[in-house]
Structure 1
Amino acid sequence: MSEEKLYVVKNDEGKYWDFEGRDDFWALVISDCPTTPSKEQAELVADEHGGHVVTLIEEPEKVVLSKEQAKIVKDAHDNKIPACHIANKSDDEELLMNAYVNGYTMAKEKKYNVKVPHANYKWYLKTPDGKLDTIFVEGLSKGFGGYPDGIELTNDDIEKFGLQDCEKEEVTDDGDEV
């Protein structure tokens, strides 16, 4: 985020000073130049013509969180003392407080094709309805090739189904292994 700021002078009627015309307050839609990069200039206009200085800042970037971190932030919004909730639930207080204040997005979970050892091309997959299924692929040594998206397993799935010791290949967004 840039440290540069812009300033406007707004009066009690909700009109803005026009820094280009320098002659009066106008509705925002008809003002030629309602902003200035000079805080001093804005303060001078406010002193001489009334109104108050408003600082415009860039919207902060949203934080990228894991599913677990996002749950903590979501639950903090329902808590009477959000900062205490975040401090009690995580060691990464600064990141989560930033997400609480500025918003967040969820990180995409990595997905994997998982091969069961000692079984010729036997792969586990998650069906679209969320169940675990197995398939046998003749003559296919990597991945599922033309199978539709959404059948790969996440780390949570691998743990849930007890497949931590199995060979796994990370799948990218386009379905190719990494």
Structure 2
Amino acid sequence: MAAKVTATRNGGHVVTLVEEPKKVVLTKKQAKIVEKARVNDIPATYISARTNNGEESLLINAFVNGWTVEEPKRYVLPMPGTEYHTYQMHRNAQYYAVKGTGNWRPDAIALGTDDAVKHGYTVTQSDIDAAPAWVKAIKPLEVTDDGIR
């Protein structure tokens, strides 16, 4: 901060000479360990006692350089053979399989994949794995918040 004030006062600017380290991508479980280590008296020991399979160095790296929590892949499930033209919207619409409050239903309508994402018709792989056979038979399309992958 002092360098920035001095540089501004003298008509200059501050240049970072070392690249910022990339944040480590962690699972939710791993992130909880690192978060709890931050308030522990001996963080490295806390992490070491709760890791296995060589993830200790990954979590120590996350502790030092920062971390983000990985987001699970998201999918939409367009029902095959259900695409139709909607004259009111002047576009094609399609039915999607969606998971409601614990139940699956085949009647969610969207004007394409982007619209399905916008309406929250996305599911995770674990949702699909626990779904009934008719849902598992649908070919999932992987999506992001800004469209198809």
Q: How would you bin the TM-score normalised by the shorter chain?
A: 0.5 to 0.7
Cα distance change of structure 1 residues 63 and 100 upon mapping to structure 2, 3 Å threshold: same
Q: 2:140 aligns to what?
A: 169
Structure showing greater radius of gyration is 1
Q: TM (normalized to structure 2)?
A: 0.56
Q: 1:69 aligns to what?
A: 30
- Structure 1: runs of 5 or more not aligned: 1-13, 16-26, 36-54, 116-120
The one-letter code of the counterpart of 1:125 is V
SS in 1 for 2:72: coil
Cα distance change of structure 1 residues 108 and 34 upon mapping to structure 2, 3 Å threshold: closer
Deviation at 1:67, TM superposition (A): 2.0
The one-letter code of the counterpart of 1:147 is A
1:58 corresponds, among 13, 19, 24, to 19
The one-letter code of the counterpart of 1:29 is T
Structure with the bigger percentage of helix: 2
2:124 maps to 1:154 = yes
Structure with the larger RCO, 1 or 2 (CA within 8 Å, 6+ apart)? 2
Q: 1:28 aligns to what?
A: 7
Counting only pairs closer than 5 Å after superposition, residues 33-48 of structure 1 correspond to structure 2 as: none
Q: 2:64 aligns to what?
A: 101
Counting only pairs closer than 5 Å after superposition, residues 104-143 of structure 1 correspond to structure 2 as: 104-113=67-76, 125-127=98-100, 131-137=101-107
Q: TM (normalized to structure 1)?
A: 0.49
Contact persistence 2:27–2:70 (CA under 8 A): yes
| Structure-2 separation of matches of 1:136 and 1:85 | 47
SS in 2 for 1:172: strand
| Structure-2 separation of matches of 1:106 and 1:32 | 40
| Structure-1 separation of matches of 2:76 and 2:143 | 11
Contact persistence 2:76–2:116 (CA under 8 A): no
Deviation at 1:133, TM superposition (A): 3.2
Aligned length: 123
| Structure-1 separation of matches of 2:9 and 2:64 | 33
SS in 2 for 1:153: coil
| Structure-2 separation of matches of 1:65 and 1:106 | 5
Deviations 1:131-153 (A, max 9, x none): 33322259x9xxx7443433322
- Structure 2: runs of 5 or more not aligned: 83-94
Cα distance change of structure 1 residues 33 and 72 upon mapping to structure 2, 3 Å threshold: same
Deviation at 1:32, TM superposition (A): 6.1
Counting only pairs closer than 5 Å after superposition, residues 72-83 of structure 1 correspond to structure 2 as: 72-83=33-44
Deviation at 1:73, TM superposition (A): 1.3
